[in-house]
Amino acid sequence: MILWVLYDVAEDRARGRVARHCKQAGLYRVQYSVFLGEVTADERDALRLEIEDLIDPDHDKVYLFTLTRKELKQAILLGQAFDRKLVTAQVRELFL
């Protein structure tokens, strides 16, 4: 499954850790606080638990969406939603 992780985390250290855990789960950065990649349901669930431990539930916001490849291609990213400088070939390949 394809997983999008979008987050709004106030505290710098926590935000850095969330990004690190997303990378360790094999996701690719799409924007400063947006990651994307293919994971198993178990990997998604493990990442969820890790992120839950890192964030301040009273202030921070995190969205984890699973999409099919077809839906990924229908995803609409406007403006700077997709930072070309950050996006690797692997991510572009997911969209083609």
Q: What is the DSSP letter of 82?
A: S
Secondary structure (DSSP) of 54-75: HS-TTT-EEEEEEE-HHHHHH-
Using the rule CB under 8 A, which residue among 22, 25, 27, 55 binds a copy of itself? 55
Near a copy of itself in 3-22, by CB under 8 A: 4, 6
Residue 58 as a binder of a copy of itself (CB under 8 A): the answer is: yes
We find the least distance from the C-beta atom of residue 80 to a copy of itself, in angstroms, to be 5
- Which CB atom, from 26 or from 50, has the smaller least distance to a copy of itself? 50
The separation between CA 74 and the C-alpha centre of its own chain, rounded to angstroms, equals 17
Residue 85 as a binder of a copy of itself (CB under 8 A): the answer is: no
Residue 85, C-beta contacts closer than 8 angstroms, at least 6 positions apart? none
Question: Which residues are annotated as part of the binding site for Mg(2+)?
Answer: 8
Known binding residues: 8
